Amino acid sequence: MALHAQQFFDDALELPLDQYAIIGDTLYAAPQPNSPLRLRIDFAPTMRHGEYDGLRLRVIHPEQGVLDTAILRFADHGTFTRRDTARDLMPGQDGYAVIRDWHNSGPAWHGADGTGLRTAIEKYAHVWFPPPAASRPAACSVAQPAATTGAPPRTR
């Protein structure tokens, strides 16, 4: 596989997922124990065969199928900013913020910075797979009313 998906998901993205498997160029995850929902992440193709400009995230239910799909573009998350700057590529030019799987030497995604993508994936997963209530931080603290004596308020 020219995309080297296993290394991309493990090394470039470093997703904090406990239960996942990479099959071909696709990552399948069960981010929440005892939930029927699954997260599928694969490369989002462009119109050109073998060229990808982002990741496609899908939430899948075993009986209802795909519940939601999101596309995270490499350009929007700065994934190849350093690589493209070094190549003097600008938005709109051929090869900008894309990977192509027809490379023979090394991973097609070499030079990727997965920080922005990882953050976006974590936010997306948090919506569909929120942490259990016990581990959630308190949303906000509510001030408790002051104790009263039970006497009616004084008037002047």
**pLDDT tens sequence across 81-96:** 999 999 999 999 999 9
Q: What is the reported pTM?
A: 0.81
Provide the pLDDT for residue 99.
92
Provide the pLDDT for residue 101.
86
Count of Cβ atoms closer than 10 Å to residue 51 Cβ:
17
Name residues of the chain where pLDDT drops below 50.
1, 141-142
Provide the pLDDT for residue 1.
44
User: Cα separation of 57 and 37, whole Å?
Assistant: 13
* 51 and 98 Cβ atoms separated by less than 8 Å: yes
